[in-house]
Structure formats: structure tokens, C-alpha cells
């Protein structure tokens, strides 16, 4: 992920969550914005891998379904 390219965004957070992120940011020497990015990047990477696996599983199941349909149609022709 290219973190040099950014876009300004506004997020509304519960006060308790903001305070927890702000404390963590201070401990890491980050701004709150950079801390939020640091927290989100690993989650997005993990979700991307999960989505890729889910798509591959879906595609494999779809291929298997087509093969089953072809077999059914061939057996009905006989």
C-alpha cells in the first residue's frame, strides 16, 4: 500500500475510542491520523488475503458445478 498518496477524510469516533487511539499514538510518537492508518493497514491486508481465498474457493466450486452439469447433460443425451 502506497502511504505517500493520501486523501483527507473525516471520521466521527466515540470519545473513548479517540482517547485510546490518541494515547496509543502518543506512545508510538505518531499523530492520531497516522495511528489510525497504522491500525487499519494490517487489517485491510488480511481481508484482501481472505477475499482472494474466498474468490478462489468460489471459482473452484463454480468449475466443479459446470463439470457436473456437463456430465448430467451428456448422460441425458444417451
Q: For residue range 1-37, list pLDDT tens digits in order.
A: 566 788 888 999 999 999 999 999 999 999 999 999 9
Over residues 32-50, mean pLDDT: 84
How many Å apart are CA 50 and CA 40, to the nearest integer?
15
CA distances for 46 relative to 24, 31, 40, 50, 52, angstroms: 22, 24, 10, 6, 10
Residue 58: what pLDDT? 77
Segments making up each domain of the chain, as ranges? 15-77
pTM comes to: 0.55
Amino acid at each position: 500500500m502506497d502511504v505517500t498518496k493520501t486523501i483527507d477524510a473525516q471520521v466521527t469516533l466515540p470519545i473513548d475510542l479517540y482517547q485510546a487511539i490518541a494515547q496509543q499514538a502518543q506512545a508510538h510518537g505518531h499523530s492520531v491520523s497516522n495511528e489510525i492508518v497504522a491500525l487499519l493497514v494490517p487489517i485491510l491486508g488480511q481481508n484482501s488475503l481472505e477475499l482472494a481465498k474466498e474468490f478462489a474457493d468460489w471459482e473452484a466450486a463454480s468449475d466443479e458445478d459446470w463439470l457436473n452439469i456437463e456430465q448430467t447433460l451428456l448422460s441425458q443425451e444417451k
